[in-house]
Structures are given as C-alpha cells and as structure tokens.
C-alpha cells in the first residue's frame, strides 16, 4: 500500500496585474506536459499552479481603475482559469494567495520563524522595485534602476520585520554543492552561487505603507512581504497544516519550474524559509529562459505582447503547444514569430504527422476495408521500425527525466520521420498492385502499430491530437487509461477498424497569413529582392540556347497535391488536384505507371502554372507538372525544403 511513486510539480503563481501572455503559457504548458508524462508513467502526480494576488503592484493596478483589489483580482484570475482550460492544462490544484487556507499557512509560517528568533524587527531604508516586488541595496542597482527589469526603483524607509537570511548562507551553499540537481540549468546554479557568496543581507519581510497583503500575525500594522507570502503557496498546495497525509506524501516538491528572473527568490529566500521551518528542500528548481517576440522581451509598453487565446483560436491549441514545446531549447531564451509558428505547423504537424496518419488510415481503408490486418513475416525494414519505436519510448523517458522537453519531442518526430520513410520504402501501393497480400498486411499493421505508439507518446504534449489520432485508429480502450506499459510493441489488436476523418492539421498558407500582417509584408519585400539574382550563362544539353527573357515567360510554382486518382480508361494518366497558393487546380499527368495515387498526396511538386489549359481524355488539365524521366523510370521534381505551395520557382 502507498508504494506509488509521487511527483509534485509547480508553476510560478502568476500576478493578476494583467492578462497572461504567451510567455506565461510557455511555462505552464511545459509543466503540464511533465505532469501528464509522469502520470502516464504511473506516478501519483500533484500539479500545482495559482495566482499571486497581494502586494503593492496589484494594489496600485486596482486603484488606477478605482476598484477594490479583491474585485480586481477576482476578475483577472477568472481569465487565468479560462486560459488554462483552453490550453488543456491538467492542474490538480490552484492556489490563490487570497484563499483562506493560504492565509492561515502564511501566518503560521511567519509565526514559527519569528518564535525561533529568525525574524526580528528593525527599520528598512533602501530601494524597492514595485514591478518585481523586490528590495535592492544601492550597490546592486544598474544605472540607478532595477537590475532585473531596468525600471525605476523607489526609495523606501519604514519599520520592518527582517528574516535572518545571512544566518543560513553557508548551509545553503553547502546544500547547493552537495546536490547538483538542486538548481538547474548549471549556468543558473553558478550565478546563484556567486550571488550568495557576494553576501546575503537579511530580508525585509513586512511592509507598512500599504495594506493589500496578509497581516503579520504578531503585529497588524504590518502586511507580510508579497514574495514571502507567494513562495509559501507551494506548502499550501501540498496540504501543509491542513492535510498531514497529503503533505507527508507530496513534500518535498520534485520540481519548481520558474522563469530565469525569479530563480533568485526560489533558490535563496525559499530554501532558507524551509530550513528555518526544518522542512526538507525541493529536489529541483529549474530556471527556464524567456520567450521573446522577434528577439525582444515581450512587454505591454512595447506593444509586442502575444495573446495566447487569439493564437489558439487562430491555429489551434495543440499547434501552439507544439511550437512552445519543440521550438525552444529548454533553459535558453527562444523566439516567437508567426512565420516560425506556421513553419512548424506545416512541417511537423501537417506534413510529417498529419500525412503519416492520413495516408496510413486511407490505405488501410482502401486495401483492407478499414480493418487492421494480422502481420506476417518480418523483414529488416520492420525490425528496424520496431527497434526505433522501442528506443524512442526510452529516449522520451530519459529526456523528460533530464528536463529536456524539446529533445523528447524531437525523439518522437524521429520516429514519425522513420515511419514516413518506411511507407516510401515498403511501397504498399506496389504490394497491392502485385498482390503480395501477406507482405501488405505486415506493412499496414506496422504503420498502424507505430501510429498507436506515437499517439501514446504524443498525448502528454498534444492531448487533443492524441485523442483525435486514437479515434482514427479505432482503438476501444480509453486513451486516458493507457500507461507506459502499453507502449510495448504488439499492443494493437489485428481486426481493429480504423475511422477515416479529415486531416488533423490542415496546411496553412504562410504567404497569405504573413502578407496580412506587417511582419509578412517585410518578408515578402525581402524575397522579391532576392529574386533579382543574375543567372550564370547556362550550357544547353541538346536544345538551342534561350535567353533569360524566354525562361522568365514560364510561371513555375510549387504546388501541393491534395488528391490523386486514376483516369478511367487511360492506364498512363492520373488526375491530380493541387493547390498553388490559394488557388485550386486540376492537373492530368502521365505518371500512373510510376506512382500510386495514394503515395502522392501531400507531396510538394513543381508545375508550369501558366500553360494553356488542355483536355486529356476528356479531363481538364490546368498546368503541367515537372518530372525527370528516362525510358523506364520517372521521378517528380520536388522541393527539398518546407516551402509553401504557390512559391515561385526560378
Ligand atoms: N508572481 C511571481 C511568481 C511567484 S512564484 C512563487 C511572478 N509572476 S509573473 O506573473 O510576473 O511571472 C510568472 C512567470 O512567468 C515567471 O516565471 C516568468 O519568468 C514567466 N514569464 C513571464 N514572461 C515570460 C516570457 N516572455 N517567457 C517565458 N516566461 C515568462 O513572477
């Protein structure tokens, strides 16, 4: 009994001084993926988030609107919860620092430390940064401003209670040295060690010049300093002084995930508070980097704040989650741009994952009436795929344990890429045509089984996508009830009936979206200039030379094949539906003997877009695709980068 391993993970609690932006969604989405993954591995997870509602900053924000602080925070905290619901954040508890339960815990923590003699009364004279809610000594200021946020600091002078941080400095340094996993990544650990070694001042833990806070239990002229109040939320959420069984189980926290600018509070004030309470310290505090917008810090005053709700409405929640999790190397700063987001969606989600699912399900329907067949003998291709599926699950586990979330996703995408390559190598359309039925069964089973494993791996990161894939695979067992053991190869029962659906991630027309935004218009201009390249004199092979003007008459474009089918009565022809940018066209091509229609969908090819339309066997052809051919072989001209359809070829 009680042997299940626990995992307690927290996000910072956010200030309800404004609506949350995509940077906040970044922290919380990572925490959510870690929480979901650990649940999947069978752990008893406590995932905590919340709101940091007291302090001078909030009091001023409410005053500027002429409303009471509580009324103000109530409204904004509602938007936090809506946002987390939209992003499928699976938190187990949400601590509001205005909760009664928290109020009691903070006062008791203060009282215990005071009774121990580690909090004493004095007078504070020094600097204060209200946006950061941080005290600063003069020599730490940069050009007279807050060294963290660069904003103006205020000189304050008031009676205060002080917390003897200095008393614990050596113990803290020793703990950091003995537990290399305590502060991560390493660069932040070194920063903190230097900070502590430069000398810790006792910390002011009460204020008297405003009253939006929890009163000091022994002196109601003072309210408790907002960071002392806020950090304690991690104890409140674990049941401290409320539920001993829960607290014994979940404390200490396994991971406090925080942004790099608040790691100082978490690795100095917080562990010393716990030492003063004789409580064990959290295992790891990880300080991640910032999400920048066009390489600049997001801020309301700069007007570059990206709204996570708008983004999710436009592109879908999982598309945004995927970007946040995959694009940024965890621990470092990363950059957000609409272009980068759309490129990720098109390359990873629409192309790699979406096409794999779509064409696999389509082939099972087409060749086996939708029923996943029993596999027969294996070749090296299958052994290789099975082996990669097994090692991918291990890689995801290892990278998640090492907090390399983006590396975990990369590992899953390597498996997706391998499965796509497997389709091209195994050529199920040829197996079908040549009636190699056992082999076709094996290939279709391997595709479906790989997709099942991918779904189990992906669901911690992209929960809605996982559900959609599961539905298409037709598996009865609830996805939510699956655990790590289900990942073993062979879990898919032959006879399961797949379900055809629309593509899970339609491609987005990058050019169209970007030209709508200002960001886009700059990029289009740049592209047009690059297009002015001079071409070297071309050598001709067999045909007379042409001038650059002759060549310029051709309107060559990238086109995406969206559907392909045979032309009845013409065994050499295929009828293709393509998109060229936003335009839909039909092209009839003599490639039926070289390509199965199924294998073409999703390919980006090159077409002559300004060729006069013609009718071939009664079918309209509005363009011509380019292919290289010899007498017995033919290959389509494709694009080796992810370029949108409609892009000019020149
Ligand atoms: N209330 C304090 C935290 C108290 S925790 C006991 C606070 N709140 S905050 O709302 O200002 O920030 C919360 C978290 O959001 C911080 O970890 C911060 O680093 C993170 N982020 C804010 N903007 C961000 C980006 N642009 N990118 C990534 N994270 C960002 O600090």
CATH number for the domain harbouring residue 563: 2.40.50.140
The DSSP secondary structure of 98-131, one letter per residue, reads TSHHHHHHHHHHHHHHHHTT-EEEEEEEEEEETT
What pLDDT is recorded for position 309? Answer: 95
> Is the CB of 27 inside a 6 Å radius of any atom of ligand 1?
yes
What pLDDT is recorded for position 516? Answer: 67
- CA distances, 100 to each of 46, 105, 236, 360 (Å): 21, 9, 10, 54
For the cut 70, the answer to whether the pLDDT of residue 538 exceeds it is: no
> Is the CB of 52 inside a 6 Å radius of any atom of ligand 1?
yes
CB burial readout 40-57, b (16+ within 10 A) else e: bbebebbbbbbbbbbbbb
Give me the residue label for tokens 């390559």.
421
**Residue 432 located in a structural domain:** yes
**Range list of β-strands (E), 199-295:** 203-204, 206-207, 215-216, 219-224, 255-259, 284-288, 291-293
CB atoms within 10 A of CB 537: 7
> If you take atom 29 of ligand 1, which residue's CA is the nearest one?
23
Work out the angle between the directed axes of helices 355-368 and 437-458 (0-180°, nearest 10).
Answer: 140
Question: What are the residues facing 509 on neighbouring strands?
Answer: none
Highest mean pLDDT among 271-285, 500-514, 634-648: 271-285
**Residue 188 located in a structural domain:** no
Report residue 306 as tokens: 């990206």
Q: Is 619 helix (H, G, I), strand (E, B) or coil?
A: strand
**Domain CATH for 426:** 1.10.730.10
On whether both 400 and 446 belong to a single domain, the answer is: yes
Q: Which atom of ligand 1 is nearest to the CA of 258?
A: 17
Which pLDDT band holds residue 356 (cuts at 50, 70, 90)? Answer: very high
Torsion of CA 230, 334, 340, 638, to 10 degrees: -140
What digits encode the pLDDT tens for the residues 540-567?
Answer: 344 667 767 778 788 899 999 999 998 8
Yes or no: say if 232 and 104 are a contact pair by the CB < 8 Å rule. Answer: no
What pLDDT is recorded for position 547? Answer: 67
> Is the CB of 298 inside a 6 Å radius of any atom of ligand 1?
yes
On whether both 544 and 608 belong to a single domain, the answer is: yes
Domain that holds residue 633: 524-649
Q: Is 396 helix (H, G, I), strand (E, B) or coil?
A: helix
The values of phi and psi at residue 296, to 5°, are -125, 150
On whether both 468 and 541 belong to a single domain, the answer is: no
> If you take atom 24 of ligand 1, which residue's CA is the nearest one?
23
On whether both 434 and 550 belong to a single domain, the answer is: no
Full-model pTM: 0.81
On whether both 529 and 390 belong to a single domain, the answer is: no
Residue 290 CA to ligand 1 center (angstroms) comes to: 9
Quote the CA–CA distance of 380 and 237 in Å, as a whole number. Answer: 52
Domain count, the chain: 2
On whether both 357 and 435 belong to a single domain, the answer is: yes
For the cut 60, the answer to whether the pLDDT of residue 527 exceeds it is: no
Average model confidence (pLDDT) across the chain: 91
On whether both 460 and 529 belong to a single domain, the answer is: no
What digits encode the pLDDT tens for the residues 264-308?
Answer: 999 999 999 999 999 999 999 999 999 998 788 887 777 788 999
Residue 499 CA to ligand 1 center (angstroms) comes to: 42
> Is the CB of 231 inside a 6 Å radius of any atom of ligand 1?
yes
**Final residue of a domain: which of 471, 487, 503?**
487
The values of phi and psi at residue 395, to 5°, are -60, -40
Helix (H) or strand (E) holding 453: helix 437-458
> Is the CB of 336 inside a 6 Å radius of any atom of ligand 1?
no
Which strands, in side-by-side order, build the sheet including 291-293?
A: 296-297, 291-293, 334-336
Tell me which DSSP letter residue 180 carries: T
């Amino acid at each position: 009994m009680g042997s299940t391993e626990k995992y307690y993970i927290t996000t910072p609690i956010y200030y309800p001084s404004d609506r949350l932006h995509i940077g906040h969604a970044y922290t919380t989405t990572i925490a959510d993926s870690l929480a979901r993954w650990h649940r999947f591995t069978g752990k008893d997870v406590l995932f905590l988030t919340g709101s940091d509602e007291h302090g001078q900053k909030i009091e001023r924000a409410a005053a500027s609107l002429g409303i009471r602080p509580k009324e103000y925070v109530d409204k904004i905290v509602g938007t936090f919860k809506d946002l987390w619901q939209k992003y499928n954040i699976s938190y187990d508890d949400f601590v509001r620092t205005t909760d009664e339960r928290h109020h009691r815990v903070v006062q008791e923590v203060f009282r215990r430390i005071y009774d121990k003699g580690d909090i004493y009364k004095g007078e504070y004279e020094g600097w204060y940064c209200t946006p950061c809610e941080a005290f600063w000594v003069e020599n730490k200021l940069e050009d007279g401003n807050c060294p963290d946020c660069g904003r103006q600091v205020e000189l304050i002078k008031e009676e205060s209670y002080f917390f003897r941080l200095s008393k614990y400095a050596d113990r803290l340094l020793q703990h950091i040295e003995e537990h290399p996993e305590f502060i991560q990544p390493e660069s932040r650990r070194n920063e903190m060690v230097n900070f502590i070694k430069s000398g810790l001042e006792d910390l002011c833990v009460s204020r008297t010049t405003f009253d939006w806070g929890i009163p000091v239990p022994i002196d109601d002229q003072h309210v408790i300093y907002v960071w002392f109040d806020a950090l304690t939320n991690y104890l409140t959420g674990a049941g401290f002084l409320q539920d001993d069984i829960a607290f014994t189980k979940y404390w200490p926290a396994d991971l406090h995930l925080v942004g790099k600018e608040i790691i100082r509070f978490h690795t100095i004030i917080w562990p010393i508070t716990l030492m003063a309470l004789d409580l064990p310290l959290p295992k790891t505090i990880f300080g991640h980097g910032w999400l920048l917008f066009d390489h600049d810090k997001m801020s309301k005053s700069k007007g570059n704040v990206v709204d996570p709700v708008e983004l999710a409405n436009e592109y879908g929640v999982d598309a945004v989650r995927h970007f946040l999790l995959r694009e940024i190397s965890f621990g470092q700063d990363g950059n957000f741009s609409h272009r980068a987001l759309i490129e990720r969606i098109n390359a990873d989600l629409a192309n790699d994952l979406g096409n794999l699912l779509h064409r696999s399900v389509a082939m099972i329907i087409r060749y086996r009436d939708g029923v996943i067949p029993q596999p027969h003998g294996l070749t090296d291709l299958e052994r290789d795929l099975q082996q990669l599926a097994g090692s991918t699950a291990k890689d995801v586990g290892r990278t998640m344990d090492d907090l390399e979330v983006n590396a975990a996703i990369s590992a899953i995408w390597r498996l997706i890429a391998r499965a796509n390559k497997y389709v091209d190598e195994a050529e199920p359309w040829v197996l079908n045509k040549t009636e190699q039925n056992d082999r076709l069964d094996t290939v279709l089973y391997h595709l479906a089984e790989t997709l099942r494993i991918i779904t189990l791996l992906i669901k911690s990161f992209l929960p809605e996508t996982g559900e959609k894939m599961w539905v298409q695979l037709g598996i009865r067992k609830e996805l939510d009830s699956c655990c790590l053991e289900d990942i073993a190869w062979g879990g898919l029962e032959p006879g399961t009936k797949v379900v055809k659906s629309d593509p899970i991630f339609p491609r987005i027309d990058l050019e169209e979206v970007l030209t709508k935004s200002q960001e886009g218009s700059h990029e289009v201009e740049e592209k047009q200039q690059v297009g002015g390249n001079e071409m070297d004199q071309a050598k001709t092979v067999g045909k007379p030379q042409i001038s650059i003007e002759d060549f310029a008459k051709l309107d060559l474009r990238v086109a995406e094949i969206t559907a392909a089918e045979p032309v009845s009565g013409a065994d050499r022809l295929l009828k293709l539906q393509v998109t060229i940018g936003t335009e839909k066209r039909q092209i009839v091509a003599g490639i039926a003997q070289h390509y199965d229609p199924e294998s073409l969908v999703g390919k980006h090819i090159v077409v002559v877009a300004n060729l006069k339309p013609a009718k071939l066997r009664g079918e309209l052809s509005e363009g011509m695709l380019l292919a290289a051919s010899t007498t017995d072989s033919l290959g389509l001209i494709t694009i080796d980068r992810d370029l949108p359809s409609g892009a000019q070829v020149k």
